[in-house]
Amino acid sequence: MRENPPHILLTNYMMLELLLTRVRERNTNLEQCALLAIEYEDLDENIAEDKFWAVSPLFGVLDHADRKELVTTILDFFRLEFAIDSENFLTQSRIQESERQFRESLKQPWSLDSNEKLHEPYYIRYQKLSKTAKLYTKSMGPASSLGKFIKDYVKRHTIDIDLKKDGYWELILQTMEMLEQADYLKE
């Protein structure tokens, strides 16, 4: 596989960040301006597999449109939190190598600033990590934005699921396992 020149690789990183992350410094992004719509591969076909979803007390009771909306929202949560996986771009060693290559091969203003770094992806976690863990993480616990969304979704749609303590964890673990089986998430 031919290596991209440094300026193309840097453009790829910048576009990846622009397309996938929640806007932190700017007020709007391409999705909010209706200039871009992100879709997930084979989602309609996967959503239509009623037998697959039937084991879930949440997804099993939803019609296809509601199921698609909920799955899309959960996948968007991961994407907007920059919890994505790419062996080509987002491993720690690949990011470090790319930063070095940009600084050596490109001149300002077409390179990274001296204090600028490429963003490492986040990991969405079930439990707290030790303080010595050198990972960027976000929680998917009951008090997280994802947890609050799921609890609110269940309440608004009057779905009979107990989401107190163990009930929430059983549902979220099953949901993550199903999304991994559908090839949308990676543990």
Q: Do residues 124 and 140 lie in contact, with contact meaning Cβ atoms separated by under 8 Å?
A: yes
3: pLDDT strictly greater than 90: no
Q: For 90-129, what is each residue's pLDDT tens digit?
A: 778 887 888 888 888 877 777 777 787 777 777 777 776 6
- Looking at residue 161, its pLDDT comes to 94
Q: Which residues contact 120 (CB under 8 A, 6 or more apart)?
A: 90, 92, 95, 136
Angle between helices 166-181 and 145-156 (to 10 degrees): 100
State how far the Cα of 31 lies from the Cα of 38, in Å rounded to an integer.
8
Q: Do residues 116 and 107 lie in contact, with contact meaning Cβ atoms separated by under 8 Å?
A: no
Average pLDDT, integer, range 71-76:
93
What percent of the chain clears pLDDT 70, i.e. is strictly above it?
81
Average pLDDT, integer, range 49-71:
96
